[in-house]
Amino acid sequence: MKISEMNWFQVEEYLKTDDRAVVPLGCTEQHAYLSLSVDSILAERVAVEAAAPVGVPVFPVQAYGITPYFMAYPGTVTLKAETYLRVITDILDSLRRTGFRRILFVNGHGGNSPGQTAAIEWMDKNSDCRVRFHNWWNAPRTFEKVKEIDPVASHASWMENFPWTRLPGIEQPDVQKPMVDLERMRTFGPEGVREILTDGNFGGRFQRPDEDMHAIWDVAIAETRALIETW
């Protein structure tokens, strides 16, 4: 259930018998021909679908993350690392203050990984709480399914091209793009990154059949739900 579809009376009633919450973490950044909100759309959707049968509330997605390397692409928004860590700890402080004690962050953006360190440090001062940080797309079972379907998968490639991240009227190139040299790319600033990546895809096909995508999604939902259920 979504917090956006509850009022505070309902949340207070829920907290009498349970103290779990799910918080999706996304980002607003270039994803080639896909939506700039890919990471936010996917993190929130996997969180909502995974939590629904369990009855655990899902908070609105944190839609801005750490993505300075894509700032040469219009529409990208980045937070400074120190800002992002404060956002994460402020969210945790608020949830704890209102009664939540077990929080699962469902993360959809690799650049947000410092948030996991912030959560661990936060637990050191809040030992009555437990926080999990779940990178849904590269969790063991989900990423295994991705590699089973096509091992050449990366940022803005087919593995993020779900029916709900595509844009109407936008055609996807019918090619397999060579993988970029990631180590070399990491030595450049935003303008250099754009020059190397051009359209933004790190490498791989731009789209695969929907049946492949639904197969990955089913695994991702089950893997995420298991974390919610097995506190």
Give the whole-angstrom CA distance, residue 84 versus residue 81: 5
The reported pLDDT for the residue numbered 231 is 81
pTM: 0.96
Token reading at 136: 């849904």
108 contact partners, CB below 8 Å, separation of at least 6 = 24, 25, 26, 27, 38, 39, 40, 42, 43, 46, 135, 136, 137
153 contact partners, CB below 8 Å, separation of at least 6 = 146, 147, 159, 204
**pLDDT in 10s for each residue of the chain, 231 residues:** 999 999 999 999 999 999 999 999 999 999 999 999 999 999 999 999 999 999 999 999 999 999 999 999 999 999 999 999 999 999 999 999 999 999 999 999 999 999 999 999 999 999 999 999 999 999 999 999 999 999 999 999 999 999 999 999 999 999 999 999 999 999 999 999 999 999 999 999 999 999 999 999 999 999 999 999 998
The reported pLDDT for the residue numbered 75 is 98
Q: Which domains does the chain carry?
A: 17-229 (3.40.50.10310)
The reported pLDDT for the residue numbered 176 is 97
CA atoms within 13 A of residue 190's CA, in its CB half-sphere: 13
Cα–Cα distances in Å, from 59 out to 47, 75, 148, 171? 9, 24, 32, 33
Token reading at 1: 């259930």
The reported pLDDT for the residue numbered 59 is 98
